[in-house]
Structure 1
Amino acid sequence: MAFLESCNANERERFSPLDLEPGEIYFEEFAVIYYPPSSTETDAINKQQRGKLKICSKSVVFEPKETKYSLLKFPLKNVKKLGEREANLFSKIDIQGKSFFIECNLVVKIKERNIVSPYVYVKGEGEHIFSLVYTTVNSCLPQIAQLHRASTLDKIEQAAMINTIVLARQSRIMFDASCLEDFHEKRVIEKQAERITPLVTTPGRVVLTDARLYFQPFSATGPMSSLKIQLKHIHQVVKRRFLLRQVGLEILCTERASVRHLYLTLKSQSERDELYDSIVSYADVDMEDLEQENMILKWQTGLISNFDYLLYLNRMADRSYNDLTQYPVMPWVIADHHSQKLDLTKESTFRDLSKPIGALNSERLSKLRERYDEMSEPKFLYGSHYSTPCYVLFYLSRVALEYSLCLHGGRFDQPDRMFNSIAESWYNCLHGASDFKELIPEFYEGEGEFLVNRQNINFGVRQNGRPVGDVELPPWAKDPKDFIQKMAAALECDWVSRHLHHWIDLIFGYKQTGYEAEAADNVFYYLTYEGSVNVEHIDDVNERNSYETQIMEFGQTPKQLFTEPHPQRYHINNPYSILPGPKDTVFKNSVRRSEDIMPHSNIAACNHGDGMKTTSRNYQRKDWQALQPVLSHSLHKDSILDVHLSPDGNYIFSAAKDVHFKMYSVKDKCQSRSINLCNMTLSKCIPVNDNKTVIVGSWDNSVYFYSIEYGRILDTLPAHEDAVSCLLLSGDKLLTGSWDSDVKVWHYSSEMNVRLFTQERLSSLEHDSSVYCMSVAADGTLLATGTKDGGVFVWDLTEYYLLKHYRCHRGRVNTVIISQDKTQLYTCGSDSYFKIFDLYSGIETFNKKMEHEIKCMCYFDGYLIFGTSTGSVCVWDPLNSRQVDHIPEAHQGAVTTMHVQNREIVTGGDDHKVVLWREIPAYSSYL
């Protein structure tokens, strides 16, 4: 779910624009001390809270520093009185020019104990005192008083006054030149713009230089005061329609960019077009082959899937994950939600794709036609649309909590009106007087996380006495993941492929408007169509706001793409088709985004040798056999911190707390060398240069380069200011992580005979706390690091900047692994949780609290191997989320480290032993 990325980008900030009313504007903040209503000053002082006071257009919000306290929102329309407190010589609160009060009869409590839940409305008169920390009342109180006066006006006059205040403030704010990465950059364009994210519009300035694109919000709500995108990272720029006006611009970037996509709107179409032309001329924009004729042909012949083609059409029709008023729309295709088995060969299984949702029930349609005939112009058949922000959040209410609360005034929807059942929702779409909604892309991709109340949120109790929990699935689906896979299979099946062009005609094509729309019973309210009203020519601000509000609430029909009937897709038996037959297709779902749907990224089939085909993203792997110990030896006198197999598999290298680095011969089954490199614990060891050299990390802050060939230290690198905790070698880069909260990247070369290390540092990647583990992507472009406080950082290793930061665990991250295809992140921590994250969106796709803490983890032939605190070794299948092997007493004590190479695994533990394992078929006898 791409639109949820905006939630994760600023996870450290409790306050969010979603805590405000839709359309409300946040201006600035002040550091304050808050004194709740109290009977005495002493009592108020004892209850004081430090935090930030946020000044907004319709409210004042106090964000306490301690998360155990709620955010407090004071709606200005409920404020009865406010003013400066009179100075009192004997008061610790009433300091001259520093304190003021707000008297109101309603306070809204939000996110108590930092948990997203329905707002608590506390009614009753009370005086709330604020003491400013760094400034005086004169810089704060007049702004609140001015906005308070606006709140006393009627709705139209209030909007006009707030708009005047906003324009006046914005005209005084200029772009901060200190945000420029390089002062030599030449400014090309500077415009006022708004950044669009779901339910939130952020005004600011957009600046284009000859090297970068900047967006600086007028009021920052997080640690990033501005967004910066290098022009070389922009791969596509798309003109967008926003609220029926051609003023939008969506910028799509490569994985290397700090911001993957940016949706902007400007004041007019001419300003939008000027910015578009300038970006295209300066940036090396990849204008990919997106012409309709080519895409239609690729879809017809099966080069791209139905799902990807529908996403493409949504993109071309100005639908975007960033705009809930124009969220991508997908069709209901299955009509059977009661059978025990889903039969994709029966026509009755499917919905009639030649009719809009509202026309599927003939009895309801006849009543709607009667009303239509009696209606004056402009006529409409359906009073609601098939895609609105409310409908999108209806489906996503379990995963988009803050958005749902924002849309419903701080409360969840009524329990019986929520998305409770697939069959019930389909029934309502057929019989409801005003329910004509289609589906969203999440029904055909991912693992169905939006169907599960994973956080056990209390949404209320339905009239039948049952609490709102997970969405009730059809009998033919065993779980959410299975439901999504079968929905995807249905969308791609032959029957849907042969009829999908009819639905395209209704939504994107010639049956969208005019006579053909009337004949197809496909007529919606006139304001939902592009060109129905020219908002640009409406001078009255209030009238324009009224139209925009109606447009948002009624929904928007996609831009019309076709004026002639859409061609049919070639069916399986057509000689021009390369579509696989129903028995040859395996549907594997992954998180996809609109910017990923390009011709080259769709259904490139590869044969796996068993007659089955899957997408190129999936790799071949065999079923798990059995893990058997080959040898076991007690090498050290203390816990082993790292083990490593030599590249040829003949030796095991180990480092331990007993300050010794040791070599063990697998062939001779005995220790071949024991070296004391320093007087402190050795943490990591990596053999390089054909077993001739070993790189060893130590708690004495240094990295040692030991020659096995010559039996001596070749070089020593004083790498950090605290213990070296982890090492990685990727190509010509050596990465060292430390408890000093830093990861350093060094240039490494093994060509020199004596001094192997040039000591050339390429970059330093700073963290918030001690670094304990690292993982590098197979192609060396990405680095994931885990820290002491439970954070996981994802870095770009080509230009050394932070891409993502996740708060994954409560406590230390023990291991982090980037999947081979760079789509997933596997983590385990001291809180005993194992988690899987989507690498791009940051969405947690799986989590499980294990019975015992996972101390170490490695990837092995499509499976994950766990070493636990009780000495067991477990094999986990991440695709099916299940354990496939378990060895309860692999070590006597915790398994502290492991390394995998080829078909072998070596483990080390608190019992001072190293154990070598091999995967052996069950029928093999162990000698």
Structure 2
Amino acid sequence: MEKERFSLLQLDPGEIYFEDFSAIFIPPDTTPKTYDTKKQDGRLKMCSKSLVFDPKDISKPIIKILFKDCVVIEQWKGTAKFLNSNNNVMSVNCKEYIELLEKNIVAPYQFRKPANFLFLLNYANVMNCLPQVCQLHRASSLPAAEQADMIATIVHSRQSRDVFDPRWMDLYEKVVLESHADKVTPLVVNPGRIVLSTSKLYFQPYNKMGEYPVKINLSSIKQIVKRRFLLRQIGLEIYCNDNSPTPHTYFSFRNQIARDELYDNLLKQPELKLNEIQQDIITLQWQNGIISNYDYLLYVNSLGDRTFNDLTQYPVFPWIISNYNGDKLDLNDPINYRDLSKPVGALNEVRLNRLLERYQEMPNNKFLYGSHYSTPGFVLYYLARLYPHYVLCLQSGRFDHPDRMFNSVADAYKNCLNNMSDFKELIPQFYDVSEEGKFLVNGMGINFGYRHNNIKVGDVELPPWCSGPQDFILKLRDALESDIVSENLHKWIDLIFGYKQRGEEAVKANNLFYHLCYEGAIDLDAITDLNQRHALEVQIMEFGQIPKQVFKVPHPQRKIGYSIQTEPYQIKEIQTNCEGIWKEATDLEFVTSFNSHKNTVSDLFISEDGTKITSVGHDSKLKVFSLPQNKQIRSANIGRMPLSSCIQLPNANVLVIASWDNGISLYDLDYGRVIENVLAHEDAITCLCFDQESNLLVSGSGDCTVKVWKGLNNNGHIKPIQCLQKQIDHNSQVNCLSFNSTNHHLAVGTEDGDVYVWDMSTFLLFKKYIQSSSITAINYSPDGMKLAIGSRDMTFQIIDVNTGLSVFSKILNSVVTSLMWRDYLLVIGCEDGTLSLWDIFEVRLLLEIEAHTSAIKTIDISSLKDFIVTGGQDRSIKVWRPKLIS
């Protein structure tokens, strides 16, 4: 059976296709002698605003008759027996009609003079069809609001009679939920019934158009994403695995409640096995160079509710290159790049000043740019050669004026820089090497007309520095992945998806658009007038939509220096210190344990040469163990209260030990005795850390203070008057500390969930991050740019220090009680005794074991990173090494 040419794209926006009839079209000049040669077999489509005849002969044009252009629609009153002895003929007299796809060629629609059409219905009874057709004809003559209301009533009546066909289901399937929904594709919203069963998701369009029905196996679904549609939270996008017959489907619902009900019920189905894709993992992988700039922009677009299925929210990409006229393009020269810290409208300072003058004179709801950076019209401006049928749908059967088309890349960029109403960005196809720049070529030979210089519109004119479309796309992609762009891409993300998208920051960044572009600007659900609501929906579509705001704080910068291959744009293998052993490990191998503490092991460290372990515990004991001898070689009582922390001073065989008796002790390892005690705080000391570069010791306490000490290794004495540099007050108990020597910063985690970052050169607060629960562990990354944080609510996350953005977050099965970050190896100890090792460069879990029977309170990694030592609440110290494949 030949596929029919009729498409929903041939209807007006929002028009509903109801049903069709097998019919014969009799042209007006048909006579009994010419009937057999002139008659056309085909299908007559009844739609909410038109009748469409699709002839079986593809050389004949499709005929579209708008109801508003019809004069009379009735049963034919003629008597010619060669037509129909039963008089089963519909007569349509119209003032104008439309022809399209003549000879099956995509071209502008042809608007024809008045005519009278006869349609002989083969099987349907004309008297059964006419009442519905005439009702739609009457609706077309009403004022817009009444017409919309009458059509809505007809649609509701027809759709309420439609029921799901249970024959599509397997024998043991059970229906879980039924709902009304629309299937959304570019420029088309097709209503139908969505049915969730115990094993499948069905969509049955009311008009039986397309694959009927859409049938999605729950086991094939890998991701479900809630979406905005026309600025309302009513969209749902479903992604399936690559071999699924429906890999990607987008639905919209009548309201958010219906959308969320289906979403919640989907998640409850045992057949559903979703791929866990975490925003924070992707961001951290992008920062580390694992994910390309192109893939990350696609991902951020998805988070911002941009989708290829909806031209009103199509993915948006930035202009990157600013040189489109030169013979050569040096991608190492910053002068060839656009300033990514500014929106397109602010790139030309002269134009910006003119826009600002206009802005100042505006009343409330001020805006700088009356035109947006992404609308359906702008998307199709770029894609007209690839999707001409979309353009014809959007522009009522017409192509744009040849001089206004996308004829030259250089001219398009120049216009975006200078025109007072052109601020558009690019689309992903400009950087997609797999598509080879097909959208730049008039591959279908469409006749778009002639420009003012009498040159026929053909392929897009490309810059002199490229040899063709493929080379052009490849060079743009190389530019996108360059270090210059990687250093600055976060600034553009801030404008489009981030904290500069709206509010005061948008004003400062000259990034203000018309108010209807923003989510929350208007409540469409509260508007009961269908005509007014439709008008607003059209406005929202035409003005463009700001993406959902994804980031509320500045986006972190990407690390520079990683090399990405040009094909297929994947990160080259980067060797790290932990890769050699830990990445190849199949398990953690237990080496030995020491169990001489009588209570919780609170802190430990491995000696520089990797031969000794020093520990302190709640039994008030200091202990030293020899690994070569596999035995304890020292034990000492340090006071009568639990000991919380222990560090060794550099260049001295002296330990600094903190106690719950509010004191700090210095213990001389050579002489085996305490050489100094000082009452340091007014409550138990909970943590210590030492910065060798600045020779600063820092102590944290239950008295809510952090004290900074200097010169402790001078003559082995602690003199508070001389050594105490600063007392830093906090609002609650200090639980953990971490030093960043590179920036001279100290991170402090507190009981009330605050994380403070102090500049230790000035003792001023650099940053403060508020978490949802008590901070239990904290550790800086080796480069000092990130903080690993564990919280009492079992959340583990990594925060970008400069921006405060959480670039990785995970809810664990237990509270994090200890952390150690060395190079790209991050080791986490939990309250339930679980020990996990992460490759934090690739952001993946390497190993996880049950290491202790209770909380792991302390962790250290040997300087060669060849073994790990853990200490726990179960009083044991355990040594682990990677178990490699033999």
Normalising to structure 2: TM-score of the pair?
A: 0.63
User: Does 2:179 match 1:191?
Assistant: yes
Aligned match of 1:537 in 494, 516, 526?
526
Q: Is the 8 A contact 1:506 1:517 kept in 2?
A: yes
1:269 matched to 2:253: no
Task: Kindly provide the CA deviation profile for residues 821-844 of structure 1, in whole angstroms up to 9, marking residues without a partner as x.
Answer: xxxxxxxxxxxxxxxxxxxxxxxx
Matched, 1:518 2:493: no
5+ long unaligned stretches in structure 1 = 1-9, 573-578, 590-601, 608-927
CA shift, 1:13, in A, is 2.3
Q: Given the alignment of the two structures, is residue 100 of structure 1 paired with residue 90 of structure 2, yes or no?
A: yes
**Identity of matched residues, %:** 51
| Deviation of the 1:370 alpha carbon | 1.1
The number of equivalent residue pairs is 573
CA contact (8 A) 1:150 1:161 kept: yes
Provide the residue aligned with 2:554 in structure 1.
565
Q: Is the 8 A contact 1:97 1:136 kept in 2?
A: no
The CA deviation at 1:503 is 0.3
Structure 2 CA distance for partners of 1:28 and 1:163, relative to 1, 3 Å = same
Distance in 1, Cα, partners of 2:248 & 2:130: 38
Alignment of 1:328-477 (within 5 A): 328-445=315-432, 446-477=435-466
Equivalent position of 2:14 in the other structure: 23
| 2:311 alignment partner AA | L
| Letter paired with 2:61 | S
Change (3 A) 1:94 1:287: closer
Partner of 1:73: 64
**Contact kept in structure 2, 1:380 and 1:524, CA below 8 Å:** yes
Residues 441 and 183 (structure 1 numbering): CA distance in 2 closer, same or farther, change over 3 Å?
A: same
Is 1:130 matched up with 2:119? yes
Report the counterpart of residue 646 of structure 2 in structure 1: none
| Pairing partner for 1:120 from 104, 107, 110 | 110
Deviations 1:322-345, CA, capped at 9 Å, x for gaps: 011001000001000011111111
Alignment pair present for 1:327 and 2:314: yes
Decide whether the 8 Å contact of 1:87 with 1:95 is kept in 2. no
Q: Is the 8 A contact 1:236 1:285 kept in 2?
A: no
SS of 1:282 mapped into structure 2: coil
Any conservation in 2 of the 1:37–1:44 contact (CA below 8 Å)?
no
Tell whether 2:570 aligns with 1:588.
Answer: no
Q: Which amino acid aligns with 1:172?
A: R
The AA in structure 2 aligned to 1:365 is: L
The amino acid of 1:79's aligned partner reads C
The equivalent position to 1:256 in structure 2, one of 215, 237, 243, is 243
Following superposition, the deviation at residue 540 of structure 1 comes to 2.3
Instruction: Please tell me whether the aligned partners of residues 237 and 285 of structure 1 are also in contact (alpha carbons under 8 angstroms).
Output: no
The 5 A counterparts of 1:592-741 are 603-605=570-572
**What is the match of residue 4 of structure 2?**
13
Q: Is residue 493 of structure 1 aligned with residue 482 of structure 2?
A: yes
Residue deviations 1:663-720 (CA, integer Å, cap 9, x gap): xxxxxxxxxxxxxxxxxxxxxxxxxxxxxxxxxxxxxxxxxxxxxxxxxxxxxxxxxx
Out of 181, 198, 216, the residue aligned to residue 204 of structure 2 is 216
Deviations 1:477-517 (A, max 9, x none): 10000000000000000100001111000000000001110
Aligned to 2:544: 555
Q: Distance in 2 between matches of 1:63 and 1:360?
A: 50
* 1:25 Cα deviation after fit: 1.0
Aligned pairs for 1:15-54 within 5 A: 15-38=6-29, 40-44=31-35, 46-54=37-45
- Deviation of 1:155 (Å): 2.3
Q: Answer whether contact 2:381 2:405 (CA < 8 A) is retained.
A: yes
Q: Select which of 29, 48, 52 maps to 1:61.
A: 52
CA RMSD of aligned residues (A): 1.8
Structure 1 residues 91 and 366, CA gap change in structure 2 (3 angstroms) = same
1:286 positional shift: 4.6
Q: Is the 8 A contact 2:199 2:271 kept in 1?
A: no
Displacement of 1:287 after TM fit?
A: 4.3
For 2:25 and 2:90, locate their aligned partners in 1 and report how far apart those are by CA, in whole Å.
Answer: 10
Q: Secondary structure in 1 aligned to 2:237? A: strand
Deviation at 1:179, TM superposition (A): 2.0
Q: Distance in 2 between matches of 1:112 and 1:444?
A: 35
Following the alignment from structure 1 to structure 2, what is the Cα–Cα distance between the partners of residues 604 and 271? Answer: 42
Distance between the aligned counterparts of 1:297 and 1:225, measured in 2? 42
Q: In structure 2, what is the equivalent of residue 920 of structure 1?
A: none
Please list every run of 5 or more consecutive structure 2 residues that lacks an aligned counterpart in the other structure: 575-886
- 1:280 pairs, out of 249, 255, 267, with 267
Residues 757-779 of structure 1 show CA distances to partners (whole Å, capped at 9, x for unaligned) of xxxxxxxxxxxxxxxxxxxxxxx
1:239-271 CA-to-partner distances (Å, cap 9, x unmatched) read 111011111110100123220011011111111
Once the two structures are superposed, the pairs formed by residues 914-925 of structure 1 within 5 Å of their partners are: none
Distance 1:11 1:296, change over 3 A: farther
Counterparts of 1:15 and 1:568, CA distance in 2: 49
Q: Flag the 1:156–1:539 CA change in 2: closer, same or farther, 3 A.
A: closer
Letter of the structure 2 residue corresponding to residue 111 of structure 1: L
Shift of 1:86: 2.5
The TM-score with structure 1 as length reference comes to 0.60
Distance in 1 between residues matched to 2:24 and 2:357, nearest whole Å: 63
Distance in 2, Cα, partners of 1:341 & 1:298: 33
Q: Which residue in 1 is equivalent to 2:190?
A: 202
- Map 1:784-799 to 2 at 5 A: none
Task: Give CA deviations for 1:605-632 in whole Å, capped at 9, x if unaligned.
Answer: 369xxxxxxxxxxxxxxxxxxxxxxxxx
Contact 2:200 2:217 in 1 (8 A): yes
Q: Distance in 2 between matches of 1:144 and 1:388?
A: 35
Query: Contact 2:292/2:570 (CA < 8 Å) preserved in 1?
Result: yes
Q: Is contact 2:219–2:273 with CA below 8 Å preserved after alignment?
A: no
SS of structure 2 residue aligned to 1:158: helix
Could you give the per-residue CA deviations for residues 730-771 of structure 1, whole angstroms, max 9, x where no partner exists?
A: xxxxxxxxxxxxxxxxxxxxxxxxxxxxxxxxxxxxxxxxxx
Alignment partners' CA distance in 2, 1:568 and 1:501: 6
- CA shift for structure 1 position 586: 4.1
Shift of 1:41: 4.4
Matched letter for residue 69 of structure 1: K
In structure 2, distance between residues paired with 1:140 and 1:502: 60
The answer to whether the Cα contact below 8 Å between 1:369 and 1:381 also exists between their aligned partners in 2 is yes
Distance 1:337 1:289 in 2: 41
Residue 228 of structure 1 corresponds to which residue in structure 2? 215
Q: Does structure 1 conserve the Cα–Cα contact (< 8 Å) formed by 2:294 and 2:481? A: yes
How far does the alpha carbon of each residue in 1:632-685 deviate from its partner, in whole angstroms, 9 at most, with x for none?
A: xxxxxxxxxxxxxxxxxxxxxxxxxxxxxxxxxxxxxxxxxxxxxxxxxxxxxx
Larger Rg over CA atoms: 2
Structure 1 contact 27–219 (Cα < 8 Å) conserved: yes
